[in-house]
Chain A
Amino acid sequence: DAKTTQPPSMDCAEGRAANLPCNHSTISGNEYVYWYRQIHSQGPQYIIHGLKNNETNEMASLIITEDRKSSTLILPHATLRDTAVYYCIVRASNSGNTPLVFGKGTRLSVIA
């Protein structure tokens, strides 16, 4: 699985969009970009994943650049409950059936 690079921390004002970047310059053509988050004292939680196209669900949007070397997770209207560590993971599987390789992630602090 390709490695990812994320900023260690970010702040976001409540109600504003939170844009979390991830670099994955060595990503292969068959590798997917996954995002999980971990709220303090809880297990990680799946957010979204994608291959090439931008994706949106009820939690977030995922924007993948055309060359697929980077992506951005967007939380459109951040709330205090979105304060968490966000992990960007690249993996060669479109299923949950292989182990996940986590980095250190980005600690997002949503500020009132």
Chain B
Amino acid sequence: DTGVSQDPRHKITKRGQNVTFRCDPISEHNRLYWYRQTLGQGPEFLTYFQNEAQLEKSRLLSDRFSAERPKGSFSTLEIQRTEQGDSAMYLCASSSPLDYEQYFGPGTRLTVT
């Protein structure tokens, strides 16, 4: 199965630490999305890329958050100086121009203690 993969699946960190998550999209997909989901809520859009270009960032994406997709393939999402409010599931999705759906990965669950 060559679906969207995310690493790690779970991350526990202490407040103030930096964390980085990785997303590997489906290989031919040029668009890659990051979403965040807190308990009991639907996923919320954070940012997305077309190839290596970051096209849009949500207001949810504070200065502590940065995302990259340097070669237009995998992407990383870094959170600096984590806060307890950053505890959430971080979801990655990818899509192609010819498709009508987004394909989601299993997510990375972040717990900030």
| A68 cross-chain contacts in B, Cβ below 8 A | none
Cβ-neighbour of B42 out of A42, A87, A96 (below 8 A): A87
Mark contacts of A63-89 with chain B using CB atoms, 8 A cut-off: 1 yes-contact digit, 0 otherwise. Answer: 000000000000000000000010100
- Please name the residue on chain A nearest to B97 by beta carbon: A97
Asked if residues A103 and B42 are in contact (CB atoms below 8 Å), the reply is yes
| B102 cross-chain contacts in A, Cβ below 8 A | 44, 46, 96, 100
Asked if residues A100 and B43 are in contact (CB atoms below 8 Å), the reply is yes
Cβ-neighbour of B100 out of A42, A43, A95 (below 8 A): A95
Bound-state Cα–Cα, A24 to B65, Å:
33
| B56 cross-chain contacts in A, Cβ below 8 A | 99
- Number of B positions contacting A (CB below 8 A): 26
Interface check B87, CB cutoff 8 A:
no
| A103 cross-chain contacts in B, Cβ below 8 A | 42
Asked if residues B100 and A49 are in contact (CB atoms below 8 Å), the reply is yes
Cβ-neighbour of A95 out of B33, B43, B97, B103 (below 8 A): B97
- Number of A positions contacting B (CB below 8 A): 20
| A100 cross-chain contacts in B, Cβ below 8 A | 33, 35, 43, 45, 93, 102
Asked if residues B99 and A96 are in contact (CB atoms below 8 Å), the reply is yes
Bound-state Cα–Cα, A99 to B43, Å:
11
Asked if residues A96 and B41 are in contact (CB atoms below 8 Å), the reply is no
Q: From residue 48 to 74 of chain A, which have CB atoms closer than 8 A to chain B?
A: 49
A44/B104 contact (C-beta < 8 A), A97-B95, A102-B44 known? yes
Asked if residues B44 and A43 are in contact (CB atoms below 8 Å), the reply is no
B40 → chain A, closest Cβ, in Å?
A: 7
Bound-state Cα–Cα, A105 to B41, Å:
8
User: What residues of chain A have their CB less than 8 Å away from a CB belonging to chain B?
Assistant: 41-46, 49, 85, 87, 94-97, 99-105
User: What residues of chain B have their CB less than 8 Å away from a CB belonging to chain A?
Assistant: 4, 31, 33, 35, 40-45, 48, 56, 91, 93, 95-97, 99-107
List 8 A-B residue pairs with CB atoms under 8 Å apart, sorted by A's residue number: A43-B104, A49-B101, A95-B95, A95-B100, A97-B31, A100-B35, A100-B102, A102-B43
Leading 6 A-B pairs by shortest Cβ distance: A43-B104, A102-B42, A96-B95, A46-B101, A99-B45, A96-B102
